[in-house]
């Protein structure tokens, strides 16, 4: 049974939250980072890029200590405050496309992660887990929740909706035109009901944040080995999460862009594809896959539809039936010679919000030779792969909502 608990969040004062909240650091260009650091002294980017204060690039463990220092300075300057009572944080995001996400920011159990109550669908890289564990141990906080999803629950939805009838603690719109709302909930009856509802759930699924959750759990494991004081360990045994119902989850595809044809001519490549797919040249007509095992391909000014010849492909489990895996096993590896999807520099990825016009443009500019469009993974596919203990290929899903750092902070 899932253990999801309230916590005393450190969070910005109401007048500063819109200035402080930041996207994931990797989503900014260097120019965007520079402008925000230069023009906004309250941005959370100042905390995670502490070398800016000295106009110096600082990395590794030296940076971690400075992150901790900058975070403490924000607290000392009254930019952050901490809630007096453990709370659940009901959180709504309405994005620029009109999609709405309603959920709960809370602390999830590291033991539930270890016991597979919290299930995973992506592999993590060990070196990244170790690096981020060191970071967490030094800075002493989580600032970006892991995105978890749970089965739709009418009673919990009603509780959340009722609270959201009241004025939110935060209401702010980002430059991305996403509007965020937060309600801090410490009412004892509501807290008890929400805790009880989550405790009845047998399974939760990680939607986004596999490395963050894995690193948090690695930290909990090592802290438990090193320190037998259970009271001190309590905070380490949890990690901050944003939990939303499955029906709120929005999954986009990741399209593939390949730099060359592995020494093949276009004609030779098409002949090899014909053994696996039924191919139709669509000319300049944009073709987007509309069902499983159908793919779009763009090459040399033409779109192609590729329909899998199922008599030549065997599906033995949920992973075998995943379109990203099919493309890897039938085309990327055997024909194009791409074996390492994470590190091969000949392949790049474009999430589906960029659409196939983006893929076409990059191929037409000569940056890539061929692009493949995929159908988005469904929530049921994600769950089935996790339930079978399997892992998707990298960049199989682009999932919304995308969360902001620094709105709620969980301290260890």
Which pLDDT tens digit goes with each residue over 153-204? 999 999 999 999 999 999 999 988 999 999 999 999 999 999 999 999 999 9
Q: What is the pLDDT of residue 392?
A: 94
Cα 293 to its chain centre, rounded Å, is: 25
List phi, psi (to 5°) of 234. -50, -50
- Judge if 292 and 155 occupy the same domain: no
Pairing label, strands 277-283, 370-373: unpaired
Name the CA dihedral angle for 385, 349, 95, 46, rounded to a multiple of 10 degrees.
Answer: 110
94-103 pLDDT, tens digit per residue, is: 998 899 999 9
- Judge if 58 and 196 occupy the same domain: yes
- Judge if 41 and 62 occupy the same domain: yes
Q: What is the pLDDT of residue 231?
A: 58
If one counts every other C-beta atom within 10 angstroms of the C-beta of residue 71, the result is: 25
Q: How far apart are CA 209 and CA 53, in angstroms?
A: 29
Q: Which of these, 351, 114, 118, 379, lies nearest to 253 by C-alpha position?
A: 351
Q: Which of these, 360, 361, 335, 344, lies nearest to 395 by C-alpha position?
A: 344
Q: How far apart are CA 136 and CA 142, in angstroms?
A: 7
Residue with tokens 């790049």: 348
Q: From residue 283, how far is each of 296, 299, 410 by CA, in Å? A: 12, 10, 53
Range(s) of the domain holding residue 221: 4-250+400-411
- Judge if 258 and 379 occupy the same domain: yes
pTM given for the model: 0.92
How many separate domains does the chain show? Answer: 2
- Judge if 168 and 241 occupy the same domain: yes
Q: Which of these, 339, 344, 350, 308, lies nearest to 326 by C-alpha position?
A: 308
Q: How far apart are CA 356 and CA 198, in angstroms?
A: 40
- Judge if 217 and 268 occupy the same domain: no
Could you say which residues of the chain have pLDDT below 70? 228-233
Name the CA dihedral angle for 23, 28, 30, 34, rounded to a multiple of 10 degrees.
Answer: -40
DSSP output for 74-120 = HHHTTSEEE-SS-BEEEEEEE-TTS-EEEEEEEEEEHHHHHTTSEE-
Task: For the chain, count helices (H), then strands (E).
Answer: 14, 21
Q: Which of these, 51, 53, 71, 72, lies nearest to 62 by C-alpha position?
A: 51
Q: From residue 144, how far is each of 20, 50, 117, 366, 403 by CA, in Å? A: 13, 17, 21, 37, 7
CATH at 280: 3.30.1760
Helix (H, G, I), strand (E, B) or coil at 286: coil
- Judge if 258 and 225 occupy the same domain: no
- Judge if 98 and 34 occupy the same domain: yes
- Label residues 164-201 b or e (16+ Cβ within 10 Å = b): eeeebbbebebeeebebbbbbbeeeebbeebbebbeeb
Q: What is the pLDDT of residue 312?
A: 84
Q: Provide the β-strand partners of residue 141.
A: 411
- Judge if 151 and 239 occupy the same domain: yes
Pairing label, strands 118-119, 204-208: parallel
- Judge if 76 and 120 occupy the same domain: yes
User: Do the Cβ atoms of 202 and 117 come closer than 8 Å?
Assistant: yes
Q: What is the pLDDT of residue 50?
A: 92
- Judge if 260 and 203 occupy the same domain: no
User: Do the Cβ atoms of 346 and 260 come closer than 8 Å?
Assistant: yes
Structure tokens at 178: 């996403």
User: Do the Cβ atoms of 189 and 103 come closer than 8 Å?
Assistant: no
- Judge if 360 and 406 occupy the same domain: no
């Amino acid at each position: 049974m899932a253990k999801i608990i309230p916590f005393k969040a450190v969070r910005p004062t109401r007048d500063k939250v819109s200035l402080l909240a930041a996207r994931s650091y990797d989503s900014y260009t260097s120019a965007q980072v520079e402008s925000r650091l230069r023009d906004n002294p309250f941005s959370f980017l100042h905390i995670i890029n502490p070398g800016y204060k000295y106009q110096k690039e600082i990395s590794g463990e030296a940076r971690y200590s400075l992150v901790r220092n900058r975070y403490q300075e924000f607290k000392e300057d009254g930019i952050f405050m901490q809630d007096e009572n453990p709370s659940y944080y009901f959180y709504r995001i309405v994005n620029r496309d009109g999609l709405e996400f309603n959920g709960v920011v809370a602390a999830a159990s590291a033991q539930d992660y270890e016991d597979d109550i919290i299930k995973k669908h992506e592999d993590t890289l060990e070196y990244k887990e170790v690096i981020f564990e060191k970071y967490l141990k030094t800075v002493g906080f989580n600032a970006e929740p892991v995105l978890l999803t749970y089965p739709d629950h009418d009673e919990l939805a009603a509780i959340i909706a009722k609270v959201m009838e009241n004025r939110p603690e935060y209401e702010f719109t980002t430059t991305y035109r996403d509007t965020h709302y937060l309600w801090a909930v410490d009412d004892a009856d509501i807290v008890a009901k929400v805790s009880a509802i989550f405790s009845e759930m047998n399974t939760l699924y990680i939607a986004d944040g596999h490395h963050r959750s894995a690193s948090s759990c690695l930290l909990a494991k090592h802290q438990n080995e090193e320190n037998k004081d259970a009271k001190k360990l309590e905070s380490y045994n949890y990690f901050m999460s944003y939990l939303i119902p499955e029906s709120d989850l929005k999954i986009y595809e990741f399209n593939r862009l390949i730099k060359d044809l592995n020494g093949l001519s276009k004609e030779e490549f098409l002949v090899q594809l014909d053994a696996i797919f039924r191919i139709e040249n669509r000319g300049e007509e944009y073709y987007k896959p509309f069902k499983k095992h159908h793919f779009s391909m763009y090459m040399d000014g033409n779109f192609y539809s590729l329909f899998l010849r199922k008599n030549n492909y065997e599906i033995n489990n949920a992973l075998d039936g995943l379109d990203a895996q099919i493309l890897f096993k039938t085309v990327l590896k055997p024909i194009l010679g791409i074996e390492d999807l994470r590190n091969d520099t000949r392949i790049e990825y474009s999430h589906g919000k960029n659409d196939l016009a983006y893929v076409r443009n990059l191929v037409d500019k000569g940056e890539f030779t061929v692009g493949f469009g995929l159908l988005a993974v469904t929530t049921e596919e994600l769950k089935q792969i996790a339930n079978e203990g399997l892992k998707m290929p990298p960049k199989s899903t682009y999932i919304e909502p995308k969360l902001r750092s620094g709105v709620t902070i969980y301290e260890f």
